[in-house]
Amino acid sequence: MTDFPDTYLQCGRYRLKISGPSFRPLVMGVLNVTPDSFSDGGRFSSLDAAITQAELMIESGVDIIDIGGESTRPGSPPLSIEEELRRVMPVLYALRDCGKPISVDTRRPEVMYEAMIAGVDMINDITGFRDEDSLSLLRDSDCALCIMHMQGTPQTMQHEPSYDDVVREVSEFLLQRADAAASEGIDRRRLCIDPGFGFGKTLQHNLELLANIGRIQHQLSLPLLAGLSRKSMIGKLTDKPVEQRMAGSIAAALYAIAQDARIVRVHDVAETVDAISVWQTAKNAEVKINPID
Protein backbone atom coordinates (compact mmCIF):
# COMPACT_ATOMS: atom_id res chain seq x y z
CA MET A 1 0.00 0.00 0.00
CA THR A 2 1.16 3.51 -0.80
CA ASP A 3 2.18 5.56 2.23
CA PHE A 4 0.90 9.08 2.88
CA PRO A 5 2.80 12.16 4.07
CA ASP A 6 0.72 11.82 7.25
CA THR A 7 0.41 8.44 8.95
CA TYR A 8 -2.74 9.27 10.91
CA LEU A 9 -6.24 10.58 10.27
CA GLN A 10 -7.18 13.01 13.03
CA CYS A 11 -10.64 11.81 14.01
CA GLY A 12 -11.89 13.84 16.95
CA ARG A 13 -10.58 12.25 20.12
CA TYR A 14 -8.75 9.57 18.11
CA ARG A 15 -5.79 9.33 15.75
CA LEU A 16 -6.47 6.54 13.29
CA LYS A 17 -3.50 4.92 11.62
CA ILE A 18 -3.91 5.03 7.83
CA SER A 19 -0.42 4.14 6.64
CA GLY A 20 2.80 2.46 7.62
CA PRO A 21 4.07 -1.08 8.16
CA SER A 22 1.55 -2.02 10.86
CA PHE A 23 -1.46 -0.46 9.13
CA ARG A 24 -4.65 -2.52 8.91
CA PRO A 25 -7.56 -1.39 6.71
CA LEU A 26 -10.20 0.24 8.89
CA VAL A 27 -13.81 -0.93 9.12
CA MET A 28 -16.60 1.62 9.53
CA GLY A 29 -19.83 0.02 10.72
CA VAL A 30 -23.14 1.37 9.44
CA LEU A 31 -25.71 2.12 12.15
CA ASN A 32 -28.89 3.31 10.46
CA VAL A 33 -31.46 4.70 12.90
CA THR A 34 -34.04 5.25 10.19
CA PRO A 35 -37.38 3.45 9.86
CA ASP A 36 -37.02 3.33 6.06
CA SER A 37 -33.41 2.24 5.50
CA PHE A 38 -32.91 0.35 2.24
CA SER A 39 -30.37 -2.02 3.78
CA ASP A 40 -31.79 -3.09 7.13
CA GLY A 41 -35.47 -2.21 7.07
CA GLY A 42 -35.35 0.05 10.10
CA ARG A 43 -34.26 -2.73 12.46
CA PHE A 44 -32.20 -0.32 14.61
CA SER A 45 -34.54 2.69 14.73
CA SER A 46 -35.17 2.30 18.48
CA LEU A 47 -32.52 3.46 20.94
CA ASP A 48 -32.16 0.05 22.62
CA ALA A 49 -31.82 -1.75 19.28
CA ALA A 50 -29.24 0.76 18.07
CA ILE A 51 -27.15 0.41 21.23
CA THR A 52 -27.28 -3.38 21.04
CA GLN A 53 -26.18 -3.32 17.41
CA ALA A 54 -23.32 -0.94 18.24
CA GLU A 55 -22.17 -3.26 21.03
CA LEU A 56 -22.13 -6.17 18.59
CA MET A 57 -20.04 -4.10 16.17
CA ILE A 58 -17.55 -3.26 18.91
CA GLU A 59 -17.26 -6.94 19.91
CA SER A 60 -16.65 -7.76 16.24
CA GLY A 61 -13.73 -5.34 15.91
CA VAL A 62 -15.27 -2.25 14.30
CA ASP A 63 -13.00 0.81 14.05
CA ILE A 64 -15.60 3.57 13.49
CA ILE A 65 -19.38 3.61 14.04
CA ASP A 66 -21.33 5.72 11.53
CA ILE A 67 -24.78 6.84 12.73
CA GLY A 68 -27.26 7.81 10.03
CA GLY A 69 -30.66 9.36 10.69
CA GLU A 70 -31.80 10.12 7.14
CA SER A 71 -32.32 7.55 4.42
CA THR A 72 -30.46 8.53 1.26
CA ARG A 73 -31.63 5.66 -0.92
CA PRO A 74 -32.54 6.71 -4.48
CA GLY A 75 -35.83 8.60 -4.52
CA SER A 76 -36.03 9.01 -0.74
CA PRO A 77 -37.89 12.14 0.43
CA PRO A 78 -36.00 14.77 2.44
CA LEU A 79 -36.22 14.64 6.23
CA SER A 80 -36.84 17.59 8.53
CA ILE A 81 -33.94 18.82 10.65
CA GLU A 82 -35.99 18.26 13.80
CA GLU A 83 -36.71 14.64 12.94
CA GLU A 84 -33.09 13.91 12.02
CA LEU A 85 -31.93 15.33 15.34
CA ARG A 86 -34.59 13.32 17.19
CA ARG A 87 -33.26 10.12 15.64
CA VAL A 88 -29.53 10.75 15.82
CA MET A 89 -28.76 12.63 19.01
CA PRO A 90 -29.93 10.08 21.63
CA VAL A 91 -27.83 7.40 19.93
CA LEU A 92 -24.82 9.71 19.71
CA TYR A 93 -25.05 10.60 23.40
CA ALA A 94 -25.46 6.93 24.33
CA LEU A 95 -22.41 5.82 22.32
CA ARG A 96 -19.97 8.72 22.55
CA ASP A 97 -17.99 7.07 25.36
CA CYS A 98 -18.05 3.54 23.89
CA GLY A 99 -14.32 3.59 23.15
CA LYS A 100 -14.67 3.86 19.37
CA PRO A 101 -14.79 6.93 17.12
CA ILE A 102 -18.36 7.97 16.37
CA SER A 103 -19.30 9.39 12.98
CA VAL A 104 -22.57 11.06 12.05
CA ASP A 105 -23.80 10.77 8.47
CA THR A 106 -25.51 14.10 7.75
CA ARG A 107 -25.63 16.86 5.14
CA ARG A 108 -27.20 19.53 7.38
CA PRO A 109 -25.09 22.12 9.24
CA GLU A 110 -27.67 22.25 12.02
CA VAL A 111 -27.19 18.54 12.71
CA MET A 112 -23.42 18.88 12.33
CA TYR A 113 -23.42 21.60 14.97
CA GLU A 114 -25.40 19.58 17.52
CA ALA A 115 -23.25 16.52 16.84
CA MET A 116 -20.09 18.57 17.27
CA ILE A 117 -21.33 19.91 20.62
CA ALA A 118 -22.05 16.32 21.68
CA GLY A 119 -18.47 15.27 20.90
CA VAL A 120 -18.76 13.53 17.53
CA ASP A 121 -15.46 12.35 16.03
CA MET A 122 -16.32 12.48 12.32
CA ILE A 123 -18.89 14.09 10.06
CA ASN A 124 -19.72 12.06 6.95
CA ASP A 125 -21.43 14.32 4.37
CA ILE A 126 -22.85 12.83 1.17
CA THR A 127 -22.87 16.30 -0.42
CA GLY A 128 -19.17 16.92 0.15
CA PHE A 129 -19.77 19.85 2.53
CA ARG A 130 -21.20 22.00 -0.24
CA ASP A 131 -23.44 23.91 2.16
CA GLU A 132 -21.66 27.22 2.66
CA ASP A 133 -22.04 27.05 6.45
CA SER A 134 -20.68 23.56 7.04
CA LEU A 135 -16.94 24.12 6.62
CA SER A 136 -16.84 27.33 8.68
CA LEU A 137 -18.89 25.57 11.35
CA LEU A 138 -16.43 22.67 11.62
CA ARG A 139 -13.24 24.71 11.21
CA ASP A 140 -12.37 25.01 14.89
CA SER A 141 -13.36 21.48 15.88
CA ASP A 142 -11.05 18.47 15.74
CA CYS A 143 -13.48 16.04 14.10
CA ALA A 144 -12.66 14.39 10.81
CA LEU A 145 -14.55 15.23 7.61
CA CYS A 146 -15.46 12.54 5.10
CA ILE A 147 -15.99 14.30 1.76
CA MET A 148 -18.25 12.33 -0.58
CA HIS A 149 -19.21 12.84 -4.21
CA MET A 150 -22.84 12.72 -5.30
CA GLN A 151 -24.34 13.77 -8.62
CA GLY A 152 -27.72 15.41 -8.03
CA THR A 153 -29.75 14.71 -4.88
CA PRO A 154 -31.11 11.48 -3.37
CA GLN A 155 -34.38 12.28 -5.14
CA THR A 156 -32.77 12.68 -8.59
CA MET A 157 -29.35 11.02 -8.49
CA GLN A 158 -30.30 7.85 -10.36
CA HIS A 159 -32.24 9.63 -13.11
CA GLU A 160 -29.87 8.84 -15.98
CA PRO A 161 -26.56 9.90 -14.37
CA SER A 162 -24.03 10.98 -16.99
CA TYR A 163 -20.29 11.77 -17.09
CA ASP A 164 -17.75 12.40 -19.82
CA ASP A 165 -15.08 10.82 -17.62
CA VAL A 166 -16.39 9.63 -14.27
CA VAL A 167 -12.98 9.07 -12.66
CA ARG A 168 -11.68 12.48 -13.66
CA GLU A 169 -14.87 14.33 -12.72
CA VAL A 170 -15.24 12.65 -9.33
CA SER A 171 -11.55 13.25 -8.58
CA GLU A 172 -11.83 16.91 -9.54
CA PHE A 173 -14.87 17.39 -7.30
CA LEU A 174 -13.19 15.73 -4.31
CA LEU A 175 -10.05 17.80 -4.84
CA GLN A 176 -12.06 21.02 -5.09
CA ARG A 177 -13.89 20.28 -1.85
CA ALA A 178 -10.68 19.28 -0.06
CA ASP A 179 -9.10 22.55 -1.22
CA ALA A 180 -12.17 24.44 0.02
CA ALA A 181 -11.75 22.83 3.43
CA ALA A 182 -8.06 23.72 3.50
CA SER A 183 -8.88 27.31 2.50
CA GLU A 184 -11.23 27.43 5.46
CA GLY A 185 -8.32 26.50 7.73
CA ILE A 186 -9.17 22.82 8.18
CA ASP A 187 -6.07 20.65 8.52
CA ARG A 188 -5.78 18.06 5.73
CA ARG A 189 -5.00 15.47 8.38
CA ARG A 190 -8.70 15.68 9.27
CA LEU A 191 -9.90 14.82 5.75
CA CYS A 192 -10.81 11.61 3.98
CA ILE A 193 -12.58 11.13 0.65
CA ASP A 194 -15.37 8.91 -0.67
CA PRO A 195 -16.14 8.56 -4.41
CA GLY A 196 -19.78 7.91 -3.58
CA PHE A 197 -20.53 4.51 -5.05
CA GLY A 198 -24.19 4.39 -6.06
CA PHE A 199 -24.80 8.11 -5.58
CA GLY A 200 -25.58 9.30 -9.09
CA LYS A 201 -23.68 6.54 -10.89
CA THR A 202 -24.56 3.66 -13.18
CA LEU A 203 -23.11 0.19 -12.66
CA GLN A 204 -20.41 0.97 -15.23
CA HIS A 205 -19.53 4.24 -13.46
CA ASN A 206 -19.23 2.37 -10.16
CA LEU A 207 -16.97 -0.28 -11.67
CA GLU A 208 -14.71 2.34 -13.24
CA LEU A 209 -14.38 4.13 -9.92
CA LEU A 210 -13.71 0.87 -8.08
CA ALA A 211 -10.91 -0.03 -10.48
CA ASN A 212 -9.34 3.42 -10.03
CA ILE A 213 -9.44 3.79 -6.25
CA GLY A 214 -5.64 3.81 -6.07
CA ARG A 215 -5.38 6.47 -8.77
CA ILE A 216 -7.91 8.77 -7.08
CA GLN A 217 -6.29 8.37 -3.68
CA HIS A 218 -2.79 8.95 -5.07
CA GLN A 219 -3.84 12.12 -6.89
CA LEU A 220 -5.40 13.66 -3.79
CA SER A 221 -3.00 12.21 -1.19
CA LEU A 222 -5.95 11.66 1.13
CA PRO A 223 -7.22 8.37 2.61
CA LEU A 224 -10.13 6.94 0.64
CA LEU A 225 -13.24 5.41 2.15
CA ALA A 226 -15.17 2.91 0.02
CA GLY A 227 -18.84 2.36 0.77
CA LEU A 228 -20.09 -0.53 -1.34
CA SER A 229 -21.98 -2.62 1.18
CA ARG A 230 -25.33 -4.02 0.01
CA LYS A 231 -25.69 -1.38 -2.70
CA SER A 232 -27.60 -1.83 -5.93
CA MET A 233 -24.39 -2.48 -7.87
CA ILE A 234 -23.88 -5.59 -5.72
CA GLY A 235 -27.46 -6.61 -6.44
CA LYS A 236 -26.97 -6.14 -10.18
CA LEU A 237 -23.75 -8.13 -10.20
CA THR A 238 -25.13 -11.01 -8.12
CA ASP A 239 -28.84 -10.84 -8.92
CA LYS A 240 -29.55 -10.94 -5.17
CA PRO A 241 -31.97 -8.91 -3.02
CA VAL A 242 -30.50 -6.58 -0.43
CA GLU A 243 -30.71 -9.10 2.43
CA GLN A 244 -28.62 -11.60 0.45
CA ARG A 245 -25.75 -9.32 -0.60
CA MET A 246 -23.27 -9.99 2.20
CA ALA A 247 -20.90 -12.19 0.20
CA GLY A 248 -20.87 -9.81 -2.73
CA SER A 249 -20.35 -6.86 -0.41
CA ILE A 250 -17.37 -8.50 1.28
CA ALA A 251 -15.84 -9.32 -2.09
CA ALA A 252 -16.25 -5.68 -3.14
CA ALA A 253 -14.70 -4.46 0.12
CA LEU A 254 -11.67 -6.73 -0.34
CA TYR A 255 -11.24 -5.58 -3.93
CA ALA A 256 -11.41 -1.94 -2.78
CA ILE A 257 -8.74 -2.65 -0.17
CA ALA A 258 -6.60 -4.36 -2.79
CA GLN A 259 -6.90 -1.15 -4.79
CA ASP A 260 -5.57 0.74 -1.72
CA ALA A 261 -8.74 1.93 0.04
CA ARG A 262 -7.94 2.72 3.67
CA ILE A 263 -11.47 2.50 5.12
CA VAL A 264 -14.45 0.36 4.12
CA ARG A 265 -17.97 1.23 5.23
CA VAL A 266 -19.98 -1.95 5.83
CA HIS A 267 -23.12 -3.42 7.36
CA ASP A 268 -21.68 -6.86 8.12
CA VAL A 269 -18.86 -5.93 10.47
CA ALA A 270 -17.86 -9.31 11.94
CA GLU A 271 -17.71 -11.04 8.58
CA THR A 272 -15.79 -8.19 6.95
CA VAL A 273 -13.26 -7.99 9.80
CA ASP A 274 -12.61 -11.73 9.46
CA ALA A 275 -12.26 -11.49 5.67
CA ILE A 276 -9.78 -8.61 5.96
CA SER A 277 -7.78 -10.48 8.59
CA VAL A 278 -7.40 -13.53 6.36
CA TRP A 279 -6.71 -11.43 3.25
CA GLN A 280 -4.06 -9.30 4.94
CA THR A 281 -2.35 -12.25 6.62
CA ALA A 282 -2.10 -14.06 3.31
CA LYS A 283 -0.94 -10.91 1.54
CA ASN A 284 1.79 -10.23 4.08
CA ALA A 285 3.00 -13.81 4.34
CA GLU A 286 6.38 -14.62 2.90
CA VAL A 287 6.04 -17.62 0.64
CA LYS A 288 9.28 -19.54 0.27
CA ILE A 289 9.52 -21.78 -2.74
CA ASN A 290 12.24 -24.41 -2.53
CA PRO A 291 14.05 -24.84 -5.81
CA ILE A 292 13.71 -28.18 -7.52
CA ASP A 293 16.98 -30.04 -7.66
> Tens of pLDDT along 13-55?
999 999 988 899 999 999 999 875 555 555 666 899 999 999 9
Q: How confident is the model at residue 160 (pLDDT cuts 50, 70, 90)?
A: confident
Residue 167 confidence (pLDDT) above 60: yes
Summary mean pLDDT of the chain? 91
> Tens of pLDDT along 244-264?
999 999 999 999 999 999 999
Alpha helices, DSSP H, located in the chain: 47-60, 81-95, 109-117, 134-138, 166-183, 203-211, 213-220, 232-238, 246-258, 269-284
Read off the DSSP letter of residue 172: H
**3-class SS of residue 202:** coil
Partners of residue 122 on adjacent β-strands:
103, 144
Domains and CATH numbers, the chain: 8-284 (3.20.20.20)
pTM: 0.92
Q: Which helix (DSSP H) or strand (DSSP E) does residue 284 occupy?
A: helix 269-284
Measured distance CA(122)–CA(145) in Å, rounded: 6
Give the residue numbers annotated as catalytic, written as ranges: 231, 265
CB atoms within 10 A of CB 182: 13
Q: How confident is the model at residue 155 (pLDDT cuts 50, 70, 90)?
A: low
Residue 288 confidence (pLDDT) above 50: no
Measured distance CA(249)–CA(292) in Å, rounded: 41
Q: How confident is the model at residue 291 (pLDDT cuts 50, 70, 90)?
A: low
What local confidence, expressed as pLDDT, does residue 286 receive? 54
Read off the DSSP letter of residue 244: G
Arithmetic mean of pLDDT, 64-93: 90
